[in-house]
Amino acid sequence: MEALVARQPIFDSELRVLAHELLYRASAGHDSAELQDARTATLSVIMNACLEISLDHLVGSKPAYINFPKDLLVGGDTPLTLPLPSERVVIEVLEDVVADQEVTSGIAALRRHGYMIALDDFSFENSDAALLDLADIVKIDIMNLDAVQLERTCKALQPRNLLLIAEKIETSAQFEHCRRLGFQGFQGFFLHRPETFTGRRMPTNRLAILRIMAELQNPLVSVSDLELLVGRDTTTSYRILRCINSSYYNLPRPISSLREAIVILGLDQLRRLCALVMLAGFDDRPGQLLIDAMTRARMCELLAQQAGVADSGPYFVTGLFSVLDALVAQPLAEALSELPLAAPISRALLQGEGDLGAALSCVRHYESGDWNRVRYGALDEQQIRTAYMQALHWAEESHALVGS
């Protein structure tokens, strides 16, 4: 499987590279995005840039601009949990986004976490000017405005002390005109056409990643045990080392050993990274089944966290493996027999026992709409509903990320 990302530089007035915009490509040899779904395209860019090709290889020390549609701006903390270093990534808000309450809250959360915000293809005629109060950068498609509109737009924006970037520059005359108008950034075919970078996604050993996921719930597992287990699977080892060495962690030196990577990631992040790798390995299964698995995993985990459980890891694994029979086309008891699961998880999955079983039962009843049996501990209806909505959103984004 090819991992594709296109890159187009943004220059300053002296033609020095300021940053690079990362662009979606569906296939090699094409200059356009062939875009069908903006959310999936963005998640594909993030996955390929950060985990397959390497953000460092694509942009070096320069900022990376990445387009974000509305549903990636309003989805709780999802953009904040992806491998996107706030000091290196600029969030480009697409031109059709309207500044409603959800959007402004989402952008404000990103700003609090250090992200700079750029408005893409902005114009006073077709964009929501209320977003200007939340922006650091404004990009203007000069092909969409006549000379009078372009000059008027620049004059109106300059008092806001925003970085102004002219897009779609196709001639030397356009470049010089935009420079005279006060633009500080310049992008377009005249300066540099997008170039496509290609990586290759490694195949996943399904049984190996299932065993790793099972072992990760063991509270007694040691770093040495995990190092040995993860080291047996080339794909998982590769992805973990690629992730830990990405700019997201901004480490002072490269990490070359799995032991160091596991220690730095910690169990929670390692568990989620492995869950994404696991999903990628079952790409021949129905997409909804994978979403269901991730929803159950995350909802069980959130229920446990809201109830004050100290270690929610086993709850995540319980929800994830509750659809294992459908994933591997085997009876659940037979599939579980090949995995080193702790007894409480096995009993929860097979007999519905214990607090793990209670959390899973709550999730299953919520899925089926059996509202009279939707209960878990002392949590109220609103807490359970919130857990489900957050889990579903996370699962859908996770599936889009690995399925792109």
Return the higher-pLDDT residue of 40 and 199: 40
Residue 322 CB contacts under 8 Å (≥ 6 apart), including other chains: 293, 296, 349, 360, 364
Domain that holds residue 152: 2-199
The tokens describing 117, both together, are 């915000």
pLDDT score at 246: 60
Residue 102 CB contacts under 8 Å (≥ 6 apart), including other chains: 73, 74
Distance, first Cα to last Cα, the chain: 11
pLDDT score at 116: 94
pLDDT score at 402: 53
255 and 306 co-located in one domain:
no
100 and 247 co-located in one domain:
no
47 and 181 co-located in one domain:
yes
Average pLDDT over every residue of 202-228:
69
Place of tokens 């031109």: 95
pLDDT score at 213: 72
Of 233, 256, 280, the residue that ends a domain is 280
Q: What digits encode the pLDDT tens for the residues 255-288?
A: 767 787 777 777 767 766 676 666 666 666 676 7
103 and 244 co-located in one domain:
no
Q: How far apart are alpha carbons 331 and 313 in whole angstroms? A: 24
Is residue 67 classed exposed, middle or buried when 0-12, 13-18 and 19+ CB atoms within 10 A define those classes?
buried
CATH number of the domain to which 79 belongs: 3.20.20.450
210 and 302 co-located in one domain:
no
Residue 316: pLDDT over 90? no
64 and 192 co-located in one domain:
yes
Three-state helix/strand/coil letters over the chain: CEEEEEEEEEECCCCCEEEEEEECCCCCCCCCCCCCCHHHHHHHHHHHHHHHHCHHHHHCCCCEEEEECHHHCCCCCHHHHCCCCCCCEEEEECCCCCCCHHHHHHHHHHHHCCCEEEECCCCCCCCCHHHHHHCCEEEEEHHHCCHHHHHHHHHHHHHHCCEEEEECCCCHHHHHHHHHHCCCEECCCCCCCCEEEEEECCCCCHHHHHHHHHHCCCCCCCHHHHHHHHHCCHHHHHHHHHHHCCCCCCCCCCCCCHHHHHHHHHHHHHHHHHHHHHHHCCCCCCHHHHHHHHHHHHHHHHHHHHCCCCCCHHHHHHHHHCCHHHHHCCCHHHHHCCCCCCHHHHHHHHHCCHHHHHHHHHHHHHHHCCHHHCCCCCCCHHHHHHHHHHHHHHHHHHHHHHHC
380 and 274 co-located in one domain:
no
93 and 187 co-located in one domain:
yes
pLDDT score at 24: 87
- Under the banding of pLDDT at 50, 70 and 90, the label for residue 235 is low
Of 173, 199, 225, the residue that ends a domain is 199
Place of tokens 């062939």: 34
Q: How many domains in the chain?
A: 3
13 and 69 co-located in one domain:
yes
Mean pLDDT of the chain: 81
Q: Are 266 and 275 in contact (CB under 8 A)?
A: no
- CA angle in degrees (0–180, nearest 5) for 153-159-161: 100
Return the higher-pLDDT residue of 281 and 142: 142
Of 165, 199, 233, the residue that ends a domain is 199
38 and 107 co-located in one domain:
yes
Residue 107: pLDDT over 50? yes
- CA angle in degrees (0–180, nearest 5) for 95-100-102: 105
264 and 287 co-located in one domain:
no
Q: Are 40 and 400 in contact (CB under 8 A)?
A: yes
Average pLDDT over every residue of 337-344:
77
Q: How far apart are alpha carbons 36 and 25 in whole angstroms? A: 11
324 and 395 co-located in one domain:
yes
